[in-house]
Amino acid sequence: MDRKQFRDLASPERAREAIRSLDLAPGEETVPLRTARGRVLAERIDADLDVPGFDRASVDGYALTAADTFGADEADPARLERVGEVHAGTAPDVEVRPGECAEISTGAVLPPGADAVVMVERTDRDGEDVLVRTAVAPGDRVMFAGADIAAGERALGPGTTLTPREIGLLSAIGVDSVPVRAKPTVGIVSTGDELVRPGEPLDSGAGQIYDVNSYTVASAVEEAGGVAELYPHAGDDYDAMENALRTAAEECDLVLSSGSTSASAVDVIYRVVEETGELLLHGVAVKPGKPMLVGRLGGSAYVGLPGYPVSALTIFRAFVAPAIRRAAGLVAPETETVTGRMTARERYSEGRLRYMPVGLVADAEGETLVYPVDKGSGATTSLVEADGIVAVPPDVEYLAAGESVEVQLFSPEVRPPRLFGAGEDDPALSRLLDRIDRPRYLAVGSRQGRRRLRDGATDVGVVTGDQVPDETVEIGAYDREWGLVVPAGNPRNIGGLADLVDDDVVFRNRTTDAGLRSTFEASVEDLAAERGLDRRELTEAISGFEIALRAHESPARAVRSGDADAGLGLRASAAALGTGFVGCGTERVTVVADPDRAAKPAVEELRTAIETGEDVFESLAGYRR
């Protein structure tokens, strides 16, 4: 029998390319949320309800009408009649009228008529009256419906690894099962006449040894994100090997064998591969692990590992584990603590140990940057945006920009996003981000997008209108139509902005950070100029002008549910929700990059996604590039 000689050993990179050429992707499956930890989302998941689903108090105190407190202070408090109380978990049975208030618990539903909550610490009781010793504004100490995450908002994108943070977010929006990347099934076949499975009798005098590789490699497969299937031990007999390999190939995405790969007369496994599939390479220029095989067996991928346990595990970790992780959608493991530089100065002077939630992002040179994440302790999405915590000692008043800090990661799987952006909440951008690997985007509005870009926290910012930040690099732009979302059929015959002022129309606005709000207010100001009036006179005439909702679909959903006659929104939102729409104009959406990070691969990928995203813009009503 001819011996198989090692000739023209493959380079390590060629070996990796050969393994990458093997298709290990097993598709997707749906699993219960309870068992989804560590899995990778196969599809995006959007929220289909607001969290919270109601306007709620964020402190213990009194629900009231803010206007009743204007001018109140310690010396001259506002006196209000206490008309009842509202507890968390129960529907309000009182209505707050001018001059009245209702005692309210943290997390309780804001009763009808109230638009703010005053902290109990800023009040006193005088019989059934409450003395309010501070002025509050509409919305103070209130967490509005959808403030955490809004219906229609992108909750998580494809490729997201589900850790307890993401499980919490999905639980908050009522998801009980999730589509995930299926784990690749890996069949493990140990060969060699000398091997005996642990637990079976061992004849050392006959040169037998325990099979170390089967269980070791199986554990490594599971650690890498695969499902290990152990097959009966095969000796050095050709027929036994062929039967074991064929069976494993029929049932698994990848077959791993160990042993029988060196160039001796009895090592015939390479011939099994050649005769039943395709041998891509035999031998790699690496130590340990030279006698490695890569090929195909029928519809399955195949890798032959060396027989020595140390060599087998070394080769597995260096070459095979990355392929399994890629197939499962997982990222490479890393230490649980990382060091990075603060992107901006962070003040803190409360004299207590602070566990500051932070996110991570890499700069153009790959250095880790750290930025604070804080949407409030009640916000579930803070868990998803934060990668870990920085412990700030009580005697530290601030962390300086550029200061080195140690981050305790929430899990070893945490990695900085490849692309980090912030700015306008936009449905087209949301879909374009699905085409980027591991993006993170904070839909915090154009104003906050500009600020975070200026502070050096983000790679890109997304803004609307003409206020494009200076000293940035434009990587793409497009137009979207905005206007008033109205009920289907437009029963109030609303024709434009003037009807919000002139008619008794209940309106829902966007937050002041939203670029769409700025566009809307500019049009209101134009209307005021046409009428020779002050802008404030018009805004005060619009019922609901100050009721600001965070996400782009939120006003439209308020209209659809009957809570408003009109809402500020996009034609795309109206089309998606089946409502009517009154167009008022178009606004420019511009994506800009920090000039020092414009060459990052993920930034270039976003540029390409915008340039080639005609299908996205065509799928959304009112969009054009």
- pLDDT score for 265: 32
- Looking at the 3D structure of the chain, how many domains does it have? 5
Q: What is the CATH number of the domain that holds 41?
A: 3.90.105.10
Query: Which of 355, 384, 409 represents a domain boundary (last residue)?
Result: 409
State which residues of the chain have pLDDT below 50: 1-6, 262-266, 376-378
- pLDDT score for 374: 67
Q: Nearest Cα to 468, choosing from 454, 483, 456?
A: 454
Q: What is the CATH number of the domain that holds 219?
A: 3.40.980.10
Q: Are residues 292 and 349 in the same domain?
A: no
Q: Nearest Cα to 602, choosing from 411, 406, 433, 360?
A: 433
Q: Scanning the structure block, which residue is given the tokens 């010396």?
A: 75
Q: What Rg do the C-alpha atoms of the chain give, in angstroms? A: 31
Q: Are residues 303 and 216 in the same domain?
A: yes
Query: pLDDT by residue (tens digit) across 577-617?
Result: 999 999 999 999 999 999 999 999 999 999 999 999 999 99
Q: Are residues 461 and 367 in the same domain?
A: no
What's the rounded Cα separation, in Å, for the pair 60 and 88? Answer: 10
What's the rounded Cα separation, in Å, for the pair 181 and 184? Answer: 9
Q: Are residues 356 and 344 in the same domain?
A: yes
Q: Are residues 384 and 514 in the same domain?
A: no
- pLDDT score for 46: 93
In-domain check, residue 363? yes
Q: What is the CATH number of the domain that holds 360?
A: 2.40.340.10
What's the rounded Cα separation, in Å, for the pair 589 and 620? Answer: 14
- pLDDT score for 15: 87
Query: pLDDT by residue (tens digit) across 405-451?
Result: 999 887 777 788 999 999 999 999 999 999 999 999 999 999 999 99
- pLDDT score for 382: 56
- Cα 133–chain centre separation: 42
Quote the Cα angle for 246-248-249, to 5°. 65
Q: Please say whether the beta carbons of 12 and 284 come within 8 A.
A: yes
Q: Are residues 480 and 379 in the same domain?
A: no
Q: Are residues 389 and 516 in the same domain?
A: no
In-domain check, residue 487? yes
In-domain check, residue 5? no
Q: Are residues 434 and 568 in the same domain?
A: yes
What's the rounded Cα separation, in Å, for the pair 567 and 564? Answer: 7
Q: Are residues 216 and 323 in the same domain?
A: yes
Q: Nearest Cα to 589, choosing from 497, 516, 526?
A: 516
In-domain check, residue 540? yes
In-domain check, residue 4? no
Quote the Cα angle for 522-527-529, to 5°. 95
What's the rounded Cα separation, in Å, for the pair 354 and 357? Answer: 9
Question: What is the number of alpha carbons within 13 Å of residue 77 lying toward its C-beta?
Answer: 15
Range of the domain at 344: 337-409
Query: Which of 391, 409, 427 represents a domain boundary (last residue)?
Result: 409
DSSP state of 474: E
Q: Are residues 488 and 578 in the same domain?
A: yes
Count of C-beta atoms within a 10 Å radius of residue 584: 17
What's the rounded Cα separation, in Å, for the pair 567 and 220? Answer: 55
In-domain check, residue 1? no
Q: Are residues 165 and 299 in the same domain?
A: no
Q: Please say whether the beta carbons of 585 and 481 come within 8 A.
A: yes
In-domain check, residue 203? yes
In-domain check, residue 511? yes
Q: What is the CATH number of the domain that holds 528?
A: 3.40.190.290
End-to-end Cα distance, the chain: 68
Full 3-state SS string of 500-530: HHHCCCEEEEECCCCHHHHHHHHHHHHHHHH
Query: pLDDT by residue (tens digit) across 307-359?
Result: 777 677 778 888 899 999 989 888 776 657 899 999 988 887 766 777 788 89
Query: Which of 345, 378, 409 represents a domain boundary (last residue)?
Result: 409
Q: What is the CATH number of the domain that holds 111?
A: 2.170.190.11
Q: Are residues 238 and 289 in the same domain?
A: yes
